[in-house]
Structure 1
Amino acid sequence: MSVSESLHPRRTPEPAALLTLLKPVTWFPPIWAYLCGVVASGVPPSEAWGLVALGVVLAGPVVCGMSQAANDWCDRHVDAINEPHRPIPSGRVPGRWGLWVALAMSGLALVLGLALGTWGFVATCVAVVAAWAYSAEPVRLKRSGVWGPGLVGLSYETLPWFTGAAVLSRGLPSVEVITIAVLYGIGAHGIMTLNDFKALEGDRITGVKSLPVTLGPARAARVACVVMALPQLAVLALLVAWGAPWHAAAIGLLMAAQGWAMSVMLRDPKARAPWYNGTGVLFYVSGMMIAAFALRGMGAAA
């Protein structure tokens, strides 16, 4: 912040800072998971392209963007230590604008969720509640290295996958679809744990008990790798049992690539966790879509 800005603080946000607050780079996981649900439903997207498009907008810019704004508002004191350049601590999104944006987008999410039918609206309500439960006092599940990443993993992967399948099939998805969606959501706990490495110092100072803080970087990274790998092994075994061995084999190859990336990351977890989240996670989410294609014939509503 310049001297002029410190003497005359902003009263309204910078437009670019508002976009930064919503973190477009984070929209990909829930959008991808929603599309996995669409594929797994077995319904051709061309038959309901409007619902597909609305779900993509809702899962990414609206719900995920809202969760990022809520998290940045609730984390503004932590970010002042870890990342003071962020929109709120830097003053580019001044006053309570961060809170107002998060609340307005929560309302928008619920309105848009109504257009997705009963299950789509229920899932949207759960997503909004989960976003605030993760970040806001007095619940603030982010303080736990177990519950926090678990909630985010289920919200970013399982919930949008379920929503995509439910909206396209116009009913409760099959047990197979729900099971695979839950497994990938559980595995995402490990991805979220690695994401916590970037806030290690601020979390330690402010009392956030992330796994990198409580276990140390080396042990936390090993736990994250195990948590990512075991659900994928379960997916692989289930697909073989359900008569999709070629899809299972493809996921196995992607797991081997993840194993290589994990071995690189474990040499220096604190430095290489961001690298893994940009490399190894690509193999993880590719496996999700392969599993979704395997489930197409099992995706009819229950």
Structure 2
Amino acid sequence: MNNERKKHPHLQIINPSDTPTDTEYEVNQSAQVLVRKTQEVKTAEVAKPRWGIYLSIMKPITWVPVVWSFLCGAVGSGGLRLDLEILLKLLVGLILSGPLLCGMGQAINDYFDREVDAVNEPSRAIPSLRITLMETYRIIGCLGFLGLLSAYYLGTVVFFLSLAGIGLAHAYSAPPLRLKRFTWLGPLTSAVSYIAFPWLAAASIFGEINPRVLIIISIYSLGATGIMISNDFKSIVGDYALKLPSVPVVYGTRIAARITCALIDGAQLVVIGYLIFADHHFLAAGVVLLLMLPQLFYQKAFLEKPLAKAIWYNSHSQIFFVTGMLVVSVLAF
């Protein structure tokens, strides 16, 4: 353990004697729940057709925030109109953001996370051996090629943003960098990929990238870092077992929950302040403030039982956060 501490200081928290009691207790509870859930879904997973297995490693549910960010950037640019070429670019951009690049990133993550998934979700396609590594390579390659082809059609800025996104997807999951090994770099990298890159891409296609765009996406990317941290709660069993120092493992679930809420709420408050004092968009600021109120209700339950309520919190609360993003795009740009 001494060598591990010198190699990576965050790993010292993995020592059971150093680990917060609430984290150790909740990890044990979560492990029992995972065993039960795995048995419940295993039969349905095995019965999936081949295309369904391929789609499962691309995780369509994760496309939604990326596509939403692209839509926010497009709406905020002011360049959308009923024109065939504009609508075609919008469609290609949405497909590029979601199924192609986000889907590719999820496949890459599943490949390099197969050991963690074997603990957290053994019924997934790769750890359950329902898809081979060669098939995974082919999916990643095809999605990457189609993504770069689509990005080239949408313009130079989008092409280089796509290249950067592909690079970050590999750096996040793959050795030797594997940014998710580092407590804060992992969620920050994900937030930038999910919020900043698609928003910037849309702004470059339909309008321009100006300081106001950069300020807003930077603030929302910081808030999205909190969302990414809350997503790490569901993989805490595997992270704990394999000594991956995610924020919930390093700080404990209760402190990590407070960090999550502080980042999400803090970002929205900064956006509200910016809209009022810099842009004088009082209506947009007021709507974002109203959208924060239901989030506080869900956060109260999340803070009381972080591990048990993490998935519930994400599914119920984050819709108000992303709706605020669209409100700012519509009213303040």
TM-score normalised to the size of structure 1?
0.91
Distance 1:57 1:78 in 2: 29
Distance 1:45 1:164 in 2: 14
Residue 5 (structure 1) aligns with: none
* 1:177-215 deviation per Cα after TM superposition (whole angstroms, max 9, x unaligned): 121111111110110111001110100111211001001
**Contact (CA 8 Å) 1:45, 1:52: kept in 2 or not?**
no
Distance 2:200 2:113 in 1: 29
> Does residue 147 of structure 2 align to residue 106 of structure 1?
no
Q: Find the residue that maps to 2:304 and give its secondary structure.
A: coil
1:273 is aligned with what amino acid? A
> Does residue 322 of structure 2 align to residue 280 of structure 1?
no
Residue 254 (structure 1) aligns with: 291
Distance 1:134 1:181 in 2: 20
1:40 is aligned with what amino acid? G
1:158 is aligned with what amino acid? A
Equivalent residue in structure 1 for 2:231, among 181, 195, 202: 195
1:38-57 → structure 2 map (5 Å cutoff): 38-47=74-83, 48-57=86-95
**Contact (CA 8 Å) 1:176, 1:295: kept in 2 or not?**
no
Give the direction of change, closer, same or farther, for the CA distance of 1:45–1:200 in structure 2 (3 Å limit): farther
Q: Find the residue that maps to 1:198 and give its secondary structure.
A: helix
* 1:22-43 deviation per Cα after TM superposition (whole angstroms, max 9, x unaligned): 1111100000000000011011
1:200-215 → structure 2 map (5 Å cutoff): 200-215=236-251
* 1:32-79 deviation per Cα after TM superposition (whole angstroms, max 9, x unaligned): 000000011011242411111000000000000000000000111111
Distance 1:64 1:210 in 2: 21
Gaps of at least 5 residues in structure 2 are 1-37, 39-45
Cα deviation for residue 104 of structure 1 reads 2.6
Cα deviation for residue 295 of structure 1 reads 3.2
Residue 223 (structure 1) aligns with: 259
Distance 1:188 1:161 in 2: 13
Equivalent residue in structure 1 for 2:198, among 156, 160, 178: 160
Identity %: 36
State the 4+ residue runs in structure 1 displaced beyond 2 angstroms.
44-47
Residue 52 (structure 2) aligns with: 16
**Contact (CA 8 Å) 2:151, 2:159: kept in 1 or not?**
yes
Cα deviation for residue 107 of structure 1 reads 2.1
Q: Find the residue that maps to 2:258 and give its secondary structure.
A: helix
1:197 is aligned with what amino acid? F
Distance 2:136 2:148 in 1: 19
**Contact (CA 8 Å) 1:145, 1:193: kept in 2 or not?**
no
Residue 37 (structure 1) aligns with: 73
Query: What is the CA RMSD across the aligned residues, in angstroms?
Result: 1.5
Q: Find the residue that maps to 1:266 and give its secondary structure.
A: helix
Q: Find the residue that maps to 1:138 and give its secondary structure.
A: coil
Residue 126 (structure 1) aligns with: 164
Distance 2:61 2:219 in 1: 24
TM-score normalised to the size of structure 2?
0.83
Bigger mean CA offset, 27-36 vs 237-246: 237-246
**Contact (CA 8 Å) 1:24, 1:65: kept in 2 or not?**
yes
Size of the aligned set, in residue pairs, is 284
> Does residue 85 of structure 2 align to residue 85 of structure 1?
no
Cα deviation for residue 14 of structure 1 reads 2.1
Q: Find the residue that maps to 1:64 and give its secondary structure.
A: helix
